[in-house]
């Protein structure tokens, strides 16, 4: 059995839901993981924000708009009165639930319950549509098996046991439909796997059923070797190692959520990125092996802040780095990139919520310089140190661009450089020209 996950745009309109239904029906008995229809989760976030600010009228306005969108989608989808009514009733239940929350004092728990309605609606619509087409579709409610623990990590034992029970109880199915993104927490309350988390759901499910493959369907033919929004001649990368995919996902390749890699990697389940608009395209296969000695792809991560700490006290001192790291830890801020010299350390962060406290802490250790609006460009491939020449290629390609930091050697799979955001597009193009297009 395979796990096929479809994102919001793949189920964004009545026609697209029908296309996905046809596509999954042809592929046999698999588990289909769906996101909410595109735009829905954002609208649900807005509704929650309005309720949080006690702007009930504002919340009603968005709810009404969303309701009409779903009503139109359903009218467009169904020929059969019976299944139209089934889908309508399920969608109505979700809107009633949201409405209920406009009556009482808002809490964070409510927000999660409201956010869950997007996936509940898309899966119920798909399920009703498949039934209307004579497909024996079975819904696997994610809230009955997907659970996180106190550390917000998947509770694998629980998930495995419950998912297997549910599959065993419905062995007659032609196809299984389930929600991405949503889960329960240890208290049993509705929770989620963070924005974009449906990819993670698919990977967890794939790992738990020992799937033949996890497929992430979007509307681009796989992971490209550079960002097609900024570089004209990009091409899909046919094959990536899990580590390479993880670096690319983390450093900005939007097509795959970074959390998606680990469960599949740990259980050695191949992940394939495919295109709903062109299902025959090979896409990208992510698995446990990869071509050696090759640079695969380039990604960019925006909104990076660099912080330099310079101190003569660092000279030959031990414990200096620990003191620096502790300041970041105390301020719950993750460091992305780091370079050191004998008298200074530069690090980058992307979360500047606690920047002021971080700076004042670091000032007790040395002179601090902060630069905003920076971008990490990450070049990924099989870059083991024994493979010669690739660092030179990367730096030669961008020899006309001011480089603020360089990082290599943290993993076998990436060389990262930090540059100013104004140089990003030029750097991405230069890298593509030098590394791929000659
Ligand atoms: N619907 C959720 C979101 O928009 C989860 C997902 O699409 O992966 O973040
Ligand atoms: Mg996504």
Q: State pLDDT tens for residues 378-421.
A: 999 988 888 888 999 999 999 999 999 999 988 889 999 999 99
Per-domain residue ranges of the chain: 3-219, 296-435
Query: Which pLDDT score, from 0 to 100, does residue 291 have?
Result: 80
* Ligand 1 center–CA 152 separation, angstroms: 17
Spatial distance between the Cα atoms of 24 and 2, rounded to a whole number of angstroms? 11
Topology of domain 3-219, CATH? Carbamate kinase (3.40.1160)
Spatial distance between the Cα atoms of 186 and 166, rounded to a whole number of angstroms? 20
* Ligand 2 center–CA 217 separation, angstroms: 10
Query: Which pLDDT score, from 0 to 100, does residue 315 have?
Result: 65
Long-range contacts of 316-325, Cβ-Cβ distance < 8 Å, separation of 24 or more: 316/342, 320/345, 320/365, 321/345, 323/365, 324/362, 324/365
Helix segments in 290-364, DSSP class H = 320-330, 355-363
Q: What is the mean pLDDT of residues 339-359?
A: 94
On whether the CB atoms of residues 147 and 183 are closer than 8 A, the answer is yes
Query: Which pLDDT score, from 0 to 100, does residue 438 have?
Result: 64
* Ligand 1 center–CA 123 separation, angstroms: 13
- The tokens of 270 are what? 């191949």
- The structural architecture, per CATH, of the domain 296-435 is 2-Layer Sandwich (3.30)
For ligand 1, is residue 201 a contact (CB within 6 Å)?
no
Q: Which ligand is nearest to the CA of 121?
A: 1
Average pLDDT of every residue of the chain? 94
For ligand 1, is residue 12 a contact (CB within 6 Å)?
no
Q: How confident is the model at residue 303 (pLDDT cuts 50, 70, 90)?
A: very high
Q: Which ligand is nearest to the CA of 38?
A: 1
On whether the CB atoms of residues 40 and 67 are closer than 8 A, the answer is no
Query: Which pLDDT score, from 0 to 100, does residue 102 have?
Result: 82
pLDDT greater than 80 at residue 63: yes
For ligand 1, is residue 7 a contact (CB within 6 Å)?
yes
* Ligand 1 center–CA 148 separation, angstroms: 17
- Residue ranges near ligand 2 (ion) with Cβ within 5 Å: 7, 196
385 contact partners, CB below 8 Å, separation of at least 6: 409, 412
Helix (H, G, I), strand (E, B) or coil at 303: strand
DSSP 381-418: E---TTS-SHHHHHHHHTTTS--SEEEESSSSSEEEEE
Picking from 213, 149, 206, the residue whose alpha carbon sits closest to that of residue 180 is: 206
Spatial distance between the Cα atoms of 167 and 147, rounded to a whole number of angstroms? 17
Query: Which pLDDT score, from 0 to 100, does residue 316 have?
Result: 65
Ligand 1 atom having least distance to the Cα of 198: 8
* Ligand 1 center–CA 119 separation, angstroms: 8
Instruction: For 242-289, write each residue's pLDDT tens digit.
Output: 999 998 988 877 788 889 999 999 999 999 999 999 999 999 999 998
* Ligand 1 center–CA 191 separation, angstroms: 13
Ligand 1 atom having least distance to the Cα of 193: 5
Picking from 422, 424, 427, 380, the residue whose alpha carbon sits closest to that of residue 399 is: 427
For ligand 1, is residue 122 a contact (CB within 6 Å)?
no
Phi first, then psi: what are they for 233, rounded to 5°? -95, 80
On whether the CB atoms of residues 264 and 242 are closer than 8 A, the answer is yes
Q: How confident is the model at residue 103 (pLDDT cuts 50, 70, 90)?
A: confident
Q: Which ligand is nearest to the CA of 123?
A: 1
- Of 107-111, 168-172, 230-234, 272-276, which gets the smallest average pLDDT? 107-111
- The tokens of 98 are what? 């949201």
Among protein residues, the one with the nearest Cα to ligand 1's atom 8 is 196
Task: Kindly state the percentage of the chain with pLDDT values over 70.
Answer: 99
């Amino acid at each position: 059995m395979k796990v096929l996950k479809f994102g919001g745009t793949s189920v964004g309109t009545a026609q697209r839901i029908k296309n996905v239904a046809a596509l999954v029906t042809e592929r046999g008995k698999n588990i289909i993981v769906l996101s909410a229809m595109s735009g829905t989760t954002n609208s649900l976030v807005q509704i929650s924000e309005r309720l949080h600010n006690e702007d009930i009228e504002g919340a009603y306005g968005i709810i009404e708009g969303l309701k009409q969108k779903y009503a139109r989608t359903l009218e467009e989808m169904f020929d059969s009165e019976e299944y139209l009514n089934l889908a309508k009733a399920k969608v109505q239940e979700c809107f009633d639930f949201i409405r209920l929350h406009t009556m009482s004092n808002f809490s964070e728990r409510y927000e999660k319950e409201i956010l869950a309605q997007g996936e509940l609606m898309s899966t119920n619509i798909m399920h009703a549509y498949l039934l209307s087409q004579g497909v024996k579709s079975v819904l696997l409610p994610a809230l009955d098996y997907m659970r996180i623990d106190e550390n917000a990590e998947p509770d694998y034992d629980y998930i495995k046991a419950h998912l297997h029970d549910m599959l065993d109880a419905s062995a007659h199915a032609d196809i299984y439909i389930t929600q991405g993104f949503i889960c329960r927490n240890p208290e049993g309350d509705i929770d989620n796997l963070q924005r974009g988390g449906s990819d993670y759901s698919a990977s967890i499910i794939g790992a738990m059923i020992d799937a033949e493959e996890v497929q992430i369907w979007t509307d681009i033919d796989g992971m490209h070797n550079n960002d097609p929004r900024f570089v004209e001649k990009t091409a899909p990368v046919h094959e990536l190692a899990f580590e390479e995919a993880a670096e690319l996902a983390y450093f900005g390749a939007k097509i795959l959520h970074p959390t998606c890699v680990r469960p599949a990697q740990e259980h050695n389940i191949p992940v394939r990125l495919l295109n709903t608009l062109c299902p025959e395209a090979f896409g990208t296969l992510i698995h446990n092996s990869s071509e050696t000695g090759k640079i695969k792809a380039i990604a960019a991560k925006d909104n990076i802040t660099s912080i330099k700490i310079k101190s003569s006290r660092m000279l030959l001192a031990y414990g200096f780095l620990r003191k620096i790291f502790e300041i970041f830890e105390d301020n719950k801020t993750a460091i992305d990139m780091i370079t050191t010299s004998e008298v200074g350390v530069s690090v980058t962060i992307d979360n500047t919520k606690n920047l002021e406290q971080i700076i004042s802490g670091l000032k007790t250790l040395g002179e601090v310089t902060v630069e905003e609006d920076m971008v990490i460009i990450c070049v990924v491939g099989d870059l083991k140190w024994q493979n010669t020449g690739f660092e030179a290629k990367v730096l030669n390609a961008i020899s006309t661009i001011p480089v603020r930091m360089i990082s290599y050697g943290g993993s076998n799979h990436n060389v990262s450089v930090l540059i100013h955001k104004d140089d990003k597009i030029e750097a991405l193009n230069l890298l593509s020209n030098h590394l791929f297009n000659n």
